[in-house]
Structures are given as C-alpha cells and as structure tokens.
C-alpha cells in the first residue's frame, strides 16, 4: 500500500491507497492547537503509528516543501518552518517505520494523475478539488456554515493527489503479473 502525505503545520492530510489504486483512508490531522513543532510532530507520529499498524504500507510519498515564495502567501519564515516540519516528519517515518519517504512536487503529482491547472482562474487547490469531486465519487466533502468547503478537505485532497501519483509511479511493482508459460 501507498501512503501519501500533505504536510503542513496547521493541517496534515494523509491517504492510503491499496494495490488496486483505491483509497482506503483519506483523513487529516488537525495541528492548529498544538504549541510547538515538536508537539505537532508527536501527534503526527501517533496517528501514523496507527496507520502503519492497520495497513501494510510499502511506500511513503510526501509533498515536497515549497522551494520559492508562492504569490504573496509564503514568507521566508513560513517556508523555513514548513521545511523543518517536513524534515521532522520525514525523519520520524524513516526512523520509526523503516521506510525512506520519497518526495513529489505538487505540480508533478497533479500532472501525473491528469489534473491540469489553468492559471488565472481558480486557485490550484480549488481546481484539484473540482477534479476530485467530479472523478472520485467516494471523496467526502464537509461544509462550513457559510456553505464553503472546510479547509481540511483540501489537505485530504492534496494527500490523495500525492498518494495517487505515488501509486501510478509504482503500479508495475505493486501489480506484478506472472509470466505466461
């Protein structure tokens, strides 16, 4: 099974995809109320321990940290904090679960699964959500009182994109076929 993770210091999304490409878990970890990166990391570790205990995870894919400023949203401080947290979680996965995570840029993952982002229209996260709601009928949506989709749904969606791209990259090895005699 493939585990895809969208790491953030406020909400971390995670998805497990089985050998058939089906999501068996798509959830999130709320981290806003935690005081430090270390308490956030401990919470992520506990949740991931439960995931690893219940599922035979073979590969872990993590969305790569931002490498540049994102249109006024990401300061140097934010990028540095996200990169630190990404490193902490990656290390925990390697140390505690004996799998070296692989990293995928969000743009590459979207492209790999056929999500084309059209610039100058909706935000990329909204376009990803549009794709998922049109093509993945299993994906649950939760709404705020205002009628807008709850923030954690976007993190779940991003983790699914990472997991699905990881699945597609490994499809031949996960579905080995016996040679015909």
177 pLDDT above the threshold of 70: no
180 pLDDT above the threshold of 50: no
pLDDT digits (tens, 9 = 90+) for 34-57: 889 999 999 999 999 999 999 999
* Distance in angstroms (rounded) separating the CA atoms of residues 2 and 92: 17
Domain assignment present for residue 179? The answer is: no
Q: Which of 86, 71, 16 is nearest to 48 (CA)?
A: 16
Domain assignment present for residue 25? The answer is: yes
The domain tally of the chain equals 1
Domain around 123:
2-173
Its pTM stands at: 0.85
Q: What is the pLDDT of residue 74?
A: 59
pLDDT digits (tens, 9 = 90+) for 101-137: 999 998 899 998 888 888 888 888 888 998 988 888 8
CATH code of 144's domain: 3.30.420.10
Domain assignment present for residue 51? The answer is: yes
* Distance in angstroms (rounded) separating the CA atoms of residues 94 and 60: 10
Domain assignment present for residue 117? The answer is: yes
In the chain, which residue ranges form alpha helices assigned H by DSSP? 37-54, 76-97, 106-112, 124-135, 151-174
């Amino acid at each position: 099974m493939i585990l895809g993770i969208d790491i953030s210091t406020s909400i971390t999304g995670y998805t497990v995809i089985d050998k058939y490409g089906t999501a068996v878990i798509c959830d999130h970890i709320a981290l806003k109320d935690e005081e430090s990166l270390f308490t956030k990391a401990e919470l992520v570790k506990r949740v991931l321990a439960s995931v690893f205990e219940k599922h035979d995870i073979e590969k872990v894919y993590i969305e790569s940290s931002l490498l540049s400023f994102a249109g006024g949203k990401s300061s140097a401080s934010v990028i540095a904090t996200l990169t630190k947290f990404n490193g902490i979680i990656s290390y925990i996965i390697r140390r505690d679960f004996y799998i070296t995570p692989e990293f995928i840029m969000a743009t590459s993952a979207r492209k790999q699964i056929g999500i084309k982002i059209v610039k100058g229209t909706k935000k990329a996260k909204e376009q990803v959500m549009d794709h998922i709601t049109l093509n993945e009928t299993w994906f649950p949506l939760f709404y705020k009182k205002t009628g807008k989709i709850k923030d954690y749904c976007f993190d779940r969606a991003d983790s699914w994109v990472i997991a699905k791209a990881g699945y597609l990259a490994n499809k031949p090895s996960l579905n080995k076929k016996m040679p015909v005699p």
